[in-house]
Amino acid sequence: MYSLRRVLPLLLLCLTFTIPSLRAQEPAVTNSSVPTAQQQGPSYQLSGDKLQKAIRVSRIRSTVHFVQAGWGILTILVLLILRIPARLRDWAVSTTSRFRLQCLIVLAPFLILTTLLSLPIDAYMQHVNLSYGLSIQGWASWLWDQTKEFLISFVALYLLVMLLFFVLRRSPRNWWLWFWAASVPITIFAVFITPVFIDPLFNEFEPLQQSNPALVTQLEKVIAHGGLEIPQSRMFLMKASAKTTRLNAYVTGVGTSKRVVVWDTSIAKATPDEISYIFGHEMGHYVLHHIWIGMTFSFVLVFLVLRVAYLVVNWIIRRFGATWSIPSPQDWAAIGIFFLILNTFAFLLEPITNGFSRWEEHQADIYGQEAIHGIVADPPHTALTAFQVLGETSLVDPNPNAFVEFWTGSHPSIASRAAFAASYDPWQPGQHPKYFTK
């Protein structure tokens, strides 16, 4: 299916940074570079059948990632060559003169078609996750989630496309600047409502205090150590075990919607000390203002992307407009060109967006390990075992391909993060914690 990351490539550049999480769980270092497992020793290890499965799954994930990106760009290009957007435009213009209906007539079939063309790849990954025990979600539930995601994406995209063509037709030279200015509050609003209205459509949440009061008490010690106040009302349990066997925790939202979420699978498979470390990491995102820092960074990046898109779309129309029957950027058929450009940029910018994400995860890892000092008996060992559990449950390859990690990794590899966790002890003589005083 067309996930939000592919359907809304513009917002992808923003949301990539604004919702940091422990998706694949992997910490960091005290300087600007992340040590490799070879530098620190094999702290995270798998063996036997589990190692072989992790290697196979890792190769499948990386292959599918690049195939999916290439396939998405290729399908849009083929649709342009076949003049599908132009045919949809002709249909819309001949049917109605109303701006909103024209947008709907062009966008809906285009989005449905591209979604169906991408569906086999998504279904294959669901098959892989089921085969390797990473998912327990049935096909009916999975298809229903895909449908909901498509409907949400379609509504969001419909509003964005109408906004885009509104400014395009009123300011042909500066549309990119006006659209960027509008994208700033739109992105903040999207980040604000996602945990409150969108996430509950896919998973069940409940206050962490309701089912795990003892864990809340433990986590409050970490909060107090950081000198913070994170109310229990912003600590949630997500019942992920209905769909997955993997572990996760994340911080999301802004303002009054900001919250920390811990998956119930994490509670089932990790010790309270390990969860304290994971929570400390998430508290680091909370305390270090990573959502706002990420949004600021992404707004700058989107500004540059839209400026370049303005130049590229005009060049494409001069070069291929007659062949594709697209006379100007203001024409409804140009929707295909905008999709092509933004999907291509989203892929090409992955090393930058993921590099920034790895930096944020690195800082949160440092904070997390320092936050549990004095609360757990051995912070380095606790962090190390947490990564071991996270890696095993997600079948993470201990020796990932360096290029794949550089291009696709939103987190440093678990191997490097575990190696750092095992060696990071800034309370030794001559050492100094980065975020906590002695």
At 12 the pLDDT is 44
Q: How far apart are CA 376 and CA 316, in angstroms?
A: 59
At 42 the pLDDT is 58
Q: How far apart are CA 126 and CA 142, in angstroms?
A: 8
Summarised one tens digit per residue, pLDDT across range 410-422 is 999 999 999 999 9
Region 131-150 average pLDDT = 96
Can you give the residue ranges of every domain in the chain?
1-426
Query: What is the token pair recorded at 56?
Result: 């196979």
Task: Of 4-13, 120-129, 222-231, 394-403, give the lowest mean pLDDT range.
Answer: 4-13
- Indicate the average pLDDT of the chain: 88
Residue % of the chain over a pLDDT of 70? 90
Summarised one tens digit per residue, pLDDT across range 318-362 is 999 999 999 999 999 999 999 999 999 999 999 999 999 999 999
Nearest to 280 by CA among 199, 353, 376, 213: 376
Residue 316 pLDDT greater than 80, yes or no: yes
Q: How far apart are CA 276 and CA 412, in angstroms?
A: 20
Residue 13 pLDDT greater than 50, yes or no: no
Summarised one tens digit per residue, pLDDT across range 364-399 is 999 999 999 999 999 999 999 999 999 999 999 999
Q: How far apart are CA 205 and CA 211, in angstroms?
A: 11
Residue 8 pLDDT greater than 70, yes or no: no
- Are the CB atoms for 34 and 28 separated by under 8 Å? yes
Q: How far apart are CA 318 and CA 377, in angstroms?
A: 66
Contacts of 170 (CB under 8 A, 6+ apart): none
Residue 149 pLDDT greater than 90, yes or no: yes
- Are the CB atoms for 116 and 84 separated by under 8 Å? no
Query: At 1, is the pLDDT very low, low, confident or very high (cuts 50, 70, 90)?
Result: very low
Region 28-35 average pLDDT = 36
C-alpha dihedral sign at 102, 191, 410, 49: negative
At 162 the pLDDT is 96
At 227 the pLDDT is 85
At 9 the pLDDT is 41
Summarised one tens digit per residue, pLDDT across range 87-96 is 999 999 999 9
At 438 the pLDDT is 59
Nearest to 67 by CA among 154, 125, 132: 125
Q: How far apart are CA 431 and CA 64, in angstroms?
A: 43
Q: What is the DSSP letter of 427?
A: T
- 8-32: b or e for each residue (b if 16 or more CB lie within 10 Å)? bbbbbbbbbbbbbbbbbbbbbbbee
Angle between helix 272-287 and 379-394 (nearest 10): 90
Query: At 177, is the pLDDT very low, low, confident or very high (cuts 50, 70, 90)?
Result: very high
How many Cα neighbours within 13 Å face the side chain of 278?
32
Summarised one tens digit per residue, pLDDT across range 253-262 is 888 898 889 9
Nearest to 289 by CA among 229, 364, 236, 340: 364
Residue 18 pLDDT greater than 90, yes or no: no
Residue 21 pLDDT greater than 80, yes or no: no
Residue 7 pLDDT greater than 70, yes or no: no
Residue 173 pLDDT greater than 60, yes or no: yes
